[in-house]
Amino acid sequence: MKLAFSTLGVPGLPLADVLHLAVTHRYHGVELRAHPEEPVHTGIDAAQRADVVAEFKAAGVEVLGLAGYARVAAPGDDAPVLTEIRELLELARDLGAPFVRVFPGGGTEQSAHEADATAARRLGTAAEWGADLGVRILLETHDSHRTGADALRVLGPVGHRQVGALWDVMHTWLGGEQPTETLAALGPYLGYVQVKDIASAEDTTPLPLGAGVLPLAECVEVLSRHGWDGWLCWEYEKRWYEAAAPLPELLGAGHHHLARLLNDSA
């Protein structure tokens, strides 16, 4: 498996510094948070996109994917959501990123059935764009569709190879799903896995990997046992928890922890 970290853990950090951290601590890739407050987002022009590609190439680091914020199950018109996804897909194509992350965002204004149908309809449309652009759309286990079983209610009806799943291990755990159950649901659709650690279900402040309660060892063991050889991406949610320890000083130990889990599960 390859290791990456998300720029959510180093909000606003210049790309050159992000890449320096990746190289220094031996991460293979970086997940870019695609938001206007970050250096890389859908508003940058063609020359800026080419510069991003050149910086990653010079560093020998891969762009794992773009963490977008489109909410595919949200109530309302399809057009704004589809426009947001299309712009993310085009940016990913320009940067050579294989994946774009989207959220469910079903909320409480509609039934689960309605949210599933909305998400499947939008993703079905966007899947064709993804196929044309060579980018895969990943629905994250999050909010209204927290577990693998929840996500499967959308992914199954879409039935398109360009639409898959991003397994966030915190949300499936909070949803009461065991790693074996999550992989059983998402295995055919799995794009990559976001790892993290927290103190408890009540306190989700990010912690160093291995310092909390999330079943990271079990997740890695289950993935390895089933021959999955994709990406593990450390999503350290510093952006939302200002009191959390700075990520740069944790990256070395985090790489060591993940490498040890991979070695133990081999």
Residue 266 has a pLDDT of 73
Residue 109 has a pLDDT of 87
220: helix, coil or strand?
Answer: helix
Provide the strand spans (E) within 39-189.
62-71, 99-103, 136-140, 163-168
Residue 250 has a pLDDT of 98
Tell me which residue has tokens 């074996």.
Answer: 180
Q: For the chain, how far is it from start to end, CA to CA, in angstroms?
A: 11
Name the phi and psi angles at 105, rounded to 5. 70, 35
**Of 152, 140, 160, whose CA–CA distance to 66 is shortest?**
140
CA–CA separation, 139 and 135 (whole Å): 13
Residue-wise DSSP of 119-141: HHHHHHHHHHHHHHHT-EEEEES
With beta carbons less than 8 A apart as the criterion, state whether 94 and 49 touch.
yes
With beta carbons less than 8 A apart as the criterion, state whether 40 and 74 touch.
no
Give the tokens for residue 151: 């996500």
Strands 29-33 vs 2-6: parallel, antiparallel or unpaired: parallel
Residue 241 has a pLDDT of 96
CA–CA separation, 32 and 144 (whole Å): 23
Could you list the pLDDT tens digit for every one of the 266 residues in the chain?
A: 999 999 999 999 999 999 999 999 999 999 999 999 999 999 999 999 999 999 999 999 999 999 999 999 999 999 999 999 999 999 999 999 999 999 999 988 899 999 999 999 999 999 999 999 999 999 999 999 999 999 999 999 999 999 999 999 999 999 999 999 999 999 999 999 999 999 999 999 999 999 999 999 999 999 999 999 999 999 999 999 999 999 999 999 999 999 999 998 87
Residue 155 has a pLDDT of 98
With beta carbons less than 8 A apart as the criterion, state whether 51 and 18 touch.
no
Which homologous superfamily is 2-265 in? Divalent-metal-dependent TIM barrel enzymes (3.20.20.150)
Residue 228 has a pLDDT of 95
Residue-level length of the chain:
266
Residue 254: count of CB within 10 angstroms of its CB: 23
With beta carbons less than 8 A apart as the criterion, state whether 2 and 29 touch.
yes
Residue 265 has a pLDDT of 84
Residue 3 has a pLDDT of 98
